[in-house]
Amino acid sequence: MFELGVVKRSINRANRVAADALAAFGSATVHEALGRVGLLQPYMRPIYPGAQVSGTAITVLLQPGDNWMMHVAAEQIREGDIVVAAVTSPCTDGYFGDLLATSFVARGARALVIDAGVRDVKTLQQMGFAVWSKAISSKGTIKATLGSVNVPIVCAGMLVTPGDVVVADDDGVVIVPAALAVATAEAAARREALEAGKRAQLASGVLGLDMYKMREPLEEAGLRYID
Amino acid sequence: MFELGVVKRSINRANRVAADALAAFGSATVHEALGRVGLLQPYMRPIYPGAQVSGTAITVLLQPGDNWMMHVAAEQIREGDIVVAAVTSPCTDGYFGDLLATSFVARGARALVIDAGVRDVKTLQQMGFAVWSKAISSKGTIKATLGSVNVPIVCAGMLVTPGDVVVADDDGVVIVPAALAVATAEAAARREALEAGKRAQLASGVLGLDMYKMREPLEEAGLRYID
Amino acid sequence: MFELGVVKRSINRANRVAADALAAFGSATVHEALGRVGLLQPYMRPIYPGAQVSGTAITVLLQPGDNWMMHVAAEQIREGDIVVAAVTSPCTDGYFGDLLATSFVARGARALVIDAGVRDVKTLQQMGFAVWSKAISSKGTIKATLGSVNVPIVCAGMLVTPGDVVVADDDGVVIVPAALAVATAEAAARREALEAGKRAQLASGVLGLDMYKMREPLEEAGLRYID
Amino acid sequence: MFELGVVKRSINRANRVAADALAAFGSATVHEALGRVGLLQPYMRPIYPGAQVSGTAITVLLQPGDNWMMHVAAEQIREGDIVVAAVTSPCTDGYFGDLLATSFVARGARALVIDAGVRDVKTLQQMGFAVWSKAISSKGTIKATLGSVNVPIVCAGMLVTPGDVVVADDDGVVIVPAALAVATAEAAARREALEAGKRAQLASGVLGLDMYKMREPLEEAGLRYID
Amino acid sequence: MFELGVVKRSINRANRVAADALAAFGSATVHEALGRVGLLQPYMRPIYPGAQVSGTAITVLLQPGDNWMMHVAAEQIREGDIVVAAVTSPCTDGYFGDLLATSFVARGARALVIDAGVRDVKTLQQMGFAVWSKAISSKGTIKATLGSVNVPIVCAGMLVTPGDVVVADDDGVVIVPAALAVATAEAAARREALEAGKRAQLASGVLGLDMYKMREPLEEAGLRYID
Amino acid sequence: MFELGVVKRSINRANRVAADALAAFGSATVHEALGRVGLLQPYMRPIYPGAQVSGTAITVLLQPGDNWMMHVAAEQIREGDIVVAAVTSPCTDGYFGDLLATSFVARGARALVIDAGVRDVKTLQQMGFAVWSKAISSKGTIKATLGSVNVPIVCAGMLVTPGDVVVADDDGVVIVPAALAVATAEAAARREALEAGKRAQLASGVLGLDMYKMREPLEEAGLRYID
């Protein structure tokens, strides 16, 4: 598990249509559709607001202060992938900047999710390359120690298997197992349809207490109204 | 204190005119006008920059991972209120999203201050609904356990009594006790008037050392100038 | 070291041309050009995105909850300086707001770097005054205890000597010792020239693995490709 | 609220017998007996293991880096009191050491609970004076700015009113409102009696699943057993 | 992945002899023997010093503020197991105390590793039941929402599969995949034998520089000695 | 500043008698005697309670995840030294264990102060080797990248120059510049003598309010007593 010094070249990417479709629902709806699992820790934040993407995961396991494997990962990227990177121990260094982003874009990557730091954030925003990270730091890294590419990793508290779908927006990052991508996209579409109706009711002044029929269970739970 | 399972329907809201007027002064000036008390911990941040509001507090005491009481609170909102929510133990889950925001707006709420997480932040910004929170998280919540509405709570280190005035902007969130709202608005106005004169002097190059007559007390305190 | 109660009036500012030129390279390139040292801890963040500055350091050593020395520092500012402030123990109070900023601008300061909090951030952005800080807080400070001005300080983990060059942007804050300013500016220019060529290659699809000739050392380190 | 510059001399201490009796139950049992409210944030830790106390609260509101009010508080201590101290903004300085502890002991204090730092911890342990704090720090404080004594304060997220009962042990610190002290002691005694029986059953190998009759509700909630 | 509402009854426990033998080597040696992977984040700390255990993992996935699944897990424990628990979002509540510990001991559990809080720590130490946790908190939990037992979980940043070996001591907690338990125990024994010889040399004053033959590579890397 | 790849062999150690004598006063008294400067951040904690040492600083600048320079530092240690280590970016890895401790002890070192992690803490306590660190972690390090030995470093927020006196105990770690060691030892002795008299008065029930003559300044500052 979490083997070092390995690059897996063939991975089973999730269904392309579903992987692409999930972005539109956003991470909150996808998280619900998946059964309320799969969310990375909320310290993972976009480096600029507004980006909303989904794609298939290329995974990278890095060593502290060393981004050698990011270059190895670049070769494994295909159109529609999102690179997800973890480090073997907590580190805030800037593992990724505009040069690597240029290379990743040329290979077809849509975004980077990294449980560490990045730099050149202004340029990355100008390029429109989306990144979710734990930190921003000017401190670069060395290229001396092996990690791995396309092994299962834990990124910000969540297991990520190569080929899983990554859904990320201003609310956070959700991982959808490849085998559940199609079903999750369908569930998300159903959920979104339901929410539209609820939104209209709530906007008209109907209370959630009534719309969700909560008054009785609240009373049973013992809620007391006083003046 | 911090009783669970209670909803108080009648609360004493602060003077409306003062509650509305305080927004314009901003949280820093109001904090000074109040005698430098009342500030929530600085980890409470706006989910998007630029919002500046004031209003009367509806309070909510939540359980970890459970937003049932947010729906109960919605019914108690009146025009000009700001909902202030605390959790009985630290939690970063997303207790609030665009559906609840739609309901809160329909009831007349101006903003939410929550010592936990929220989601749908892009939509909330598009709606213009202001939120100050500890976290942003796609993770939703269940509806299973009672908390309370309109009991005194501690939010991010500060006591909030229902009806108090909440003043929030990019600098943070200040709570003004209802009984002090009018006096605080007057003190804030006086302070702002004084600051205008000072700003002009400082802009012309006058030093604070001279404007505030600090040179003598600094010398008495033993400050030494060396070359 | 870190003497209290002292103001040093004459400091050796770094070469003006180099101090001014370093801003254009950005903190990441300057950090590399300096040999990958000099970076403040990454918790130091700009209060609004997009600012990019360099200048010569005026240093301030503050006491917790007390900004008296900021006024003393104002008098020592010359055109092209950046004020760098540390506190003798961790504090998030708002030591600096629009009045002090007005005074600093009138004296010629370009920015503030402070290992504590600031306030009036909306006004500071409107003024175009750049600040990097640990926190944002409405809580003001008193003026009762001596610190020092223009003594060496440690700010966010880095030693800052008065007259050093400060380079700050969205990626963070780097300190360049005054004696190395010219050499660092030259090294940064060389580095930037090199990167332009690399960027073009990477954009055309060339892999870093090939451009940096990494395949052989990776194989020697034992990297295994599997299918 | 949280007024500065005030010392209240007469406070309503909780029932003495109940205040003294609560220590024996420990903070976890008291927290349950009180309805699962009243707990300070878990970052409050004992400076040495094993202490277990209860007593009536003397409250202190301090300024950052300033312990002047601790001396003012000493005069208000009576036999059986526990001093509970908060700071107007986050601070880790060492507000309290062996000299103040000597004075507090001479006045009859049983312990200190402080949302800041203390020092001389080895001597405090030798004296047997119990302290729960956020930090340990050698950094002393000044005596320059007024706070308050015996006003309601928020300490580590919990409201503390002078005269409330403080119950503290290795598990944390719980505040029992004075008016609820007797009832809480009775509830704690009942709870403890119940637990003895449960402990015996569990020790004999009976499962909580059976003892608490959880199997049916778990099945109703949809729990699936697989092999 | 991380499915909710499931209890897996049959798991593949690691080789018993290896699982039991690993405790004696300690977490640091086992971490090295495993190839420097498998360590939980260092915020996981023992609740009292000195415990050193190994055993096979029973996994529990909990909801925030809800310990229902701990009772479900108790039934799955066999002699020699260690319970490893994660929560679906960050939580510091006290999920576990002396009653559950009594039950776990009766079932044969050796320890608990939990990415949340525990309570009754003094009693747990008296019982000799070892716990590694993120927090200590008097705050108990409810029993209302399903999680899972014996599904793969991520605990403090590391993937744990039911049946894996858990090795924990004052240095931290390491997870050894079941399939690697025997090989890791052998590698740990070899490593320990090697270290005994090195320790003797170092104790006699031989420098690591010479023992590890580092002088030449340091010189090649460019290390300069100055006076 | 903070040059990489350098080992300075000749350093100016502080006066031996003073360096040895400072331990007895403890870090809090020394911090006061030095003018309330020199304290490392309070997150630096002893790995076991009760150690109290002083000695002359050998400094080490490390790279993240790499302890190569610790071996280089060992050769520079003389009897009575304390090794003080910093890392170029935040890292919690275990840089130091019982083998290095054996070597350090053989060279005459009294303790280690490291702004990172250590391991083998149980063995270190059995050896009686004192360590103050930011973290405890089983994760070992590689030996691949140059740092420096005996250059000025910043450790946990404080500048440390080789030869400075390090004073450490349960309250924290203080750095005394070599040139001030003798004067600081004298000031600490005077301070301790003064405190003995104060302690006796306070123990007899005299209030600090009277002993320090605070009543008048408190009244002047506006303190109000109410009933």
A129-171 pLDDT tens trace? 999 999 999 999 999 999 999 999 999 999 999 999 999 999 9
Query: Averaged over D152-163, what is the pLDDT?
Result: 96
D and A make contact (3+ CB pairs below 8 Å): no
Name the residue facing F154 among C88, C89, C159 (closest C-beta).
Answer: C159
CA pair distance C64, F174, nearest whole angstrom = 18
Residue matched to tokens 């699982």: E19
Q: What are the chain C neighbours of F35 within 8 Å (beta carbons)?
A: 3-4
Q: What pLDDT does F116 receive? A: 98
Residues of A with a Cβ under 8 Å from any C Cβ are 5-10, 48, 68, 71-72, 74-75, 92, 94, 97-100, 102-103, 105-107, 117, 119-122, 135-140, 143, 145-146
pLDDT tier for residue D1 given thresholds of 50, 70 and 90: low
Q: What is the pLDDT of residues D59-80, one digit of tens each?
A: 999 999 999 999 999 999 999 9
Name the residue facing A2 among E4, E38, E88 (closest C-beta).
Answer: E38
- Whole-structure pTM value: 0.95
Q: What pLDDT does B1 receive? A: 52
Chains that touch D (3 or more CB pairs under 8 A): B, C, E, F
Q: What are the chain E neighbours of B140 within 8 Å (beta carbons)?
A: none
Q: What are the chain E neighbours of D212 within 8 Å (beta carbons)?
A: 71, 143
Could A207 and B74 be called an inter-chain contact, meaning their C-beta atoms sit closer than 8 Å?
A: yes
* Burial of C100 from C-beta contacts in 10 A (0-12 / 13-18 / 19+): buried
Q: What pLDDT does F3 receive? A: 83
Q: What are the chain B neighbours of E145 within 8 Å (beta carbons)?
A: 65, 142, 144
Could E65 and B92 be called an inter-chain contact, meaning their C-beta atoms sit closer than 8 Å?
A: no
Q: What pLDDT does E3 receive? A: 83
Q: What are the chain F neighbours of C40 within 8 Å (beta carbons)?
A: none
Could E202 and F121 be called an inter-chain contact, meaning their C-beta atoms sit closer than 8 Å?
A: no
State the greatest distance between any 2 C-alpha atoms of chain C, in Å, as a whole number. Answer: 69
Could C137 and B203 be called an inter-chain contact, meaning their C-beta atoms sit closer than 8 Å?
A: no
Name the residue facing F38 among C2, C36, C41 (closest C-beta).
Answer: C2
Could E1 and A177 be called an inter-chain contact, meaning their C-beta atoms sit closer than 8 Å?
A: yes
Q: What are the chain F neighbours of C1 within 8 Å (beta carbons)?
A: 37-38, 159, 161, 175, 177
Residue B159 DSSP symbol = E
Name the residue facing A159 among E1, E35, E175 (closest C-beta).
Answer: E1
B and C make contact (3+ CB pairs below 8 Å): yes
CA pair distance A213, C111, nearest whole angstrom = 56
Contact between B34 and B60 under an 8 Å Cβ cutoff? The reply is no
Q: What is the pLDDT of residues C75-91, one digit of tens each?
A: 999 999 999 999 999 99
Estimate to the nearest angstrom the gap between the alpha carbon of C25 and the chain centroid: 13
Chains that touch A (3 or more CB pairs under 8 A): B, C, E, F
Residue to substitute from B53, B113, B202, interface C, most C β-carbons within 10 A:
B202
| Dihedral pair phi/psi, residue F67, rounded to 5° | -110, 25
Residue of A nearest to E177 (CA): A1
Could C121 and B45 be called an inter-chain contact, meaning their C-beta atoms sit closer than 8 Å?
A: no
Q: What pLDDT does A3 receive? A: 82
Residue B179 DSSP symbol = G
Name the residue facing E106 among D30, D205, D214 (closest C-beta).
Answer: D205
F and B make contact (3+ CB pairs below 8 Å): no
Name the residue facing D159 among B1, B37, B39 (closest C-beta).
Answer: B1
Of A58, A66, A65, A70, nearest in space to A99 by CA = A70
DSSP states of C85-120: EEESS----B---HHHHHHHHHHT--EEEEEEEE--
CA pair distance F142, E67, nearest whole angstrom = 40
Please count the other Cβ atoms lying within 10 Å of the Cβ belonging to residue E225: 14
Query: Averaged over A12-18, what is the pLDDT?
Result: 98
Could D89 and C93 be called an inter-chain contact, meaning their C-beta atoms sit closer than 8 Å?
A: yes
Q: What are the chain A neighbours of E42 within 8 Å (beta carbons)?
A: 90
DSSP SS3 for A194:
helix
Could C119 and B171 be called an inter-chain contact, meaning their C-beta atoms sit closer than 8 Å?
A: yes
Q: What are the chain F neighbours of D122 within 8 Å (beta carbons)?
A: 26, 49-50, 52, 169-171
The pair of structure tokens assigned to F44 is 């630096």
- Cα torsion through A80, A83, A84, A90, rounded to 10: -160
B225 min Cα distance to partner chain A (Å) = 36
The residues of chain E scoring below 70 in pLDDT are: 1-2
Q: How many residues does chain C have?
A: 227
CA pair distance A151, A76, nearest whole angstrom = 12
A62 min Cα distance to partner chain F (Å) = 12
> For A119-202, where are the E strands, in sequence order?
130-136, 148-149, 153-155, 158-160, 165-169, 172-176
A30 min Cα distance to partner chain E (Å) = 14
- pLDDT beyond 70 at A1: no
DSSP SS3 for E59:
strand
CA pair distance A175, D4, nearest whole angstrom = 50
CA pair distance D220, F216, nearest whole angstrom = 70
Q: What are the chain B neighbours of C71 within 8 Å (beta carbons)?
A: 207-209, 212, 214
Q: What pLDDT does D3 receive? A: 82
Could E139 and B66 be called an inter-chain contact, meaning their C-beta atoms sit closer than 8 Å?
A: no
Q: What are the chain C neighbours of B199 within 8 Å (beta carbons)?
A: 98-99, 102
Q: What pLDDT does F15 receive? A: 98
Contact between C115 and C156 under an 8 Å Cβ cutoff? The reply is yes
Identity of the amino acid at E219: E
Please count the other Cβ atoms lying within 10 Å of the Cβ belonging to residue B143: 15
Query: Averaged over F166-182, what is the pLDDT?
Result: 98
Of B183, B163, B165, B181, nearest in space to B13 by CA = B163
Q: What ipTM is given for this predicted complex? A: 0.95
Q: What are the chain B neighbours of E137 within 8 Å (beta carbons)?
A: 89
The residues of chain B scoring below 50 in pLDDT are: none
CA pair distance B148, B152, nearest whole angstrom = 9
Residues of C with a Cβ under 8 Å from any A Cβ are 26-28, 30-32, 36, 39, 42, 45, 49-50, 52, 169-172, 174, 195, 198-199, 202-205, 207-209, 212, 214, 218, 221-227
Q: What are the chain D neighbours of F54 within 8 Å (beta carbons)?
A: none
State the greatest distance between any 2 C-alpha atoms of chain D, in Å, as a whole number. Answer: 69
